[in-house]
Amino acid sequence: MSAQKEEPVRINKYLAMCGICSRRDADKLLADGSVRINGEKAQMGSKVFPGDVVTYQGKRIVGKDRVILLYNKPVGVTCTEKDRHALRPIVEEIKFAERITYAGRLDQDSEGLMILTNDGDLIQKMMKGSSVHEKEYIVKVDQEITEDFVKQMAGGMYLRELKSNTRPCTVEKLGKYTFRIVLTQGLNRQIRRMCGQLGYKVTSLRRIRILNLLLDDLPSGKWRYITKEEEDALLAILGME
């Protein structure tokens, strides 16, 4: 997909679609005057029309084809682009040829499926807090799982640390210490906090699905391109057809 469209595009969105930066960081580039449209300094709210020439630091930028990767994040890899103290930042682990970023984090101690892309629109759709996007996890804890634990996890709870309520979710006991959970929200360290509030400690947490995308047999630490069929289904779910 090219970032250049028949309809005008706001400049911060255009920069994100071209893989220059996130929409949030685009505001900083606009403030320092390094972005120009047809030779004129771009302002917040400026729009890019078909045929416009957009430059960043004097170099022309153009839309790029959409790239979507599926990555099996190992434990120990940090979801960060800028933290110089991180021992294993995700962008250095993947070493992709162009700028991509993640649509949703996994904490350093967790593993499993992640989506990485150069499409700022897709990331915005994925991260929209009001959206009900299913994410499925397999979790192991340090104590035997009881019926009461499953009921409380599934029914939703108030997380004191975050001062926020969790949405009701699907929870299924798979073994003495293992359960499956499907969330439709992404509060910070949500599963670990939910378990901790009930007196349990998570010993292993692996994400196996995001919407229609499955981890399947993708090896730990490896990535692959999304298939055409997977991409079409994902865009349909996100309303980006």
- In angstroms, the CA 226 to CA 228 distance is 7
Whole-number Å distance between alpha carbons of 144 and 183: 22
Beta bridge partners of 165: 158
- DSSP secondary structure, 50-99, as one string: TT--EEETTEEE------EEEEEEPTT-B--SS-TT-SSBHHHHH--SS-
Q: How far is CA 217 from CA 42, 74, 203, in A?
A: 46, 14, 22
107 is known as an active-site residue: yes
- Tell me how far apart the alpha carbons of residues 58 and 72 are, in angstroms, rounded to a whole number: 38
Q: Choose the catalytic residue: 107, 109, 216, 217.
A: 107
| Catalytic residue annotation | 107
